[in-house]
Amino acid sequence: MPDQILLEGIEFYGYHGVPDEEQAIGHRYRVDVVLELDLSQAGRTDQLEHTVNYAEVAQRIVAIGTGTRYRLMEALAERLCREILETFPPVQRVELTLRKRLPPAGTVMENAGVRIARER
């Protein structure tokens, strides 16, 4: 199994959705991310420059999630993965789960979401 950094439960309030009303009201979103990269040098040296700063990854996710509006969760998830791969070169693969909390689906539902994986 490749080395991984796990980020779970990154939350933000964003204005995404197909109907205009959803974009006006907004929703809570939750993101879980798995970053695959070689962590052996960081493990040997105990130096941040030999890994990826997960706080910076989380901050980028929140900035995109709160700064740009998307109709589809698929489009937002794609943008998040692309941004991680472009901004953090050591990451070879990213798996991202995006959940919209309490979506307006005409029924009681805790989450609706997508999970995608992208690699170099």
Say whether 99 sits in a helix, a strand or coil.
Answer: strand
Would you state the pLDDT for residue 57? Answer: 98
Tokens of 47: 């130096």
Structural domain that includes position 35: 4-119
Tokens of 74: 């698929």
Residue with tokens 């439960």: 9
Residue with tokens 């974009």: 23
Does the active-site annotation cover 100?
Answer: yes
CATH code of 24's domain: 3.30.1130.10
d(CA 114, CA 94): 14
Tell me if the pTM is above 0.85: yes
d(CA 100, CA 60): 18
- Average pLDDT on 24-30 reads 94
Strands (DSSP E) contained in the chain are 4-14, 27-36, 93-101, 111-119
Provide the number of structural domains found in the chain.
1
User: Average model confidence (pLDDT) for the chain?
Assistant: 96
pLDDT value at 102 more than 90: no
pLDDT, tens only, 43-73: 999 999 999 999 999 999 999 999 999 999 9
Closest to 10 in 3D by CA, of 88, 48, 46, 64: 64
Would you state the pLDDT for residue 86? Answer: 98
d(CA 11, CA 24): 19
Q: What percent of the chain has pLDDT over 70?
A: 100
Closest to 80 in 3D by CA, of 49, 37, 113: 113
Question: Could you say which of 8, 17, 100, 101 is catalytic?
Answer: 100
pLDDT value at 105 more than 90: no
